Amino acid sequence: MIELALLLVMLTLFVLIIREKDLLKAVVYLAGASLSITMIFLILSAPDIAIAHASIGVILVTLIFVVAIEKTRRFENE
């Protein structure tokens, strides 16, 4: 049952990512979707993959996107 709830959260966040105009909000939604995927890996008894996904997918990718967005000109402000 919890897997279904996490799947619905993940799909909802993916739809929000696609529809969002603000890039930083989209990155936050992406981090949330990645976190839900990490939780699914934990439920499926794959803690090694969950740890790798949490460190790379949630933390590192989010940090890279935020730095890249902040270093470029944001077009949604125009």
Total domains, the chain: 1
In a domain, 78, yes or no: no
Task: Give the residue carrying structure tokens 């902040």.
Answer: 70
pLDDT tens figures, 4-47: 999 999 999 999 999 998 899 999 999 999 999 999 999 999 99
CB 12 within 8 A of CB 45: no
Whether 75 shows a pLDDT value over 90: the answer reads no
Residue 16 lies in a domain: yes
Q: What is the pTM of this model?
A: 0.83
Residue 31: inside a domain = yes
Nearest-angstrom CA–CA distance, 43 and 37: 10
Q: Which amino acid is at 69?
A: I
Q: Are 62 and 31 in contact (CB under 8 A)?
A: yes
State the pLDDT confidence band at 57, using cuts at 50, 70 and 90: confident
Range of the domain at 11: 2-73
CA-closest candidate to residue 65, choices 76, 54, 57: 57
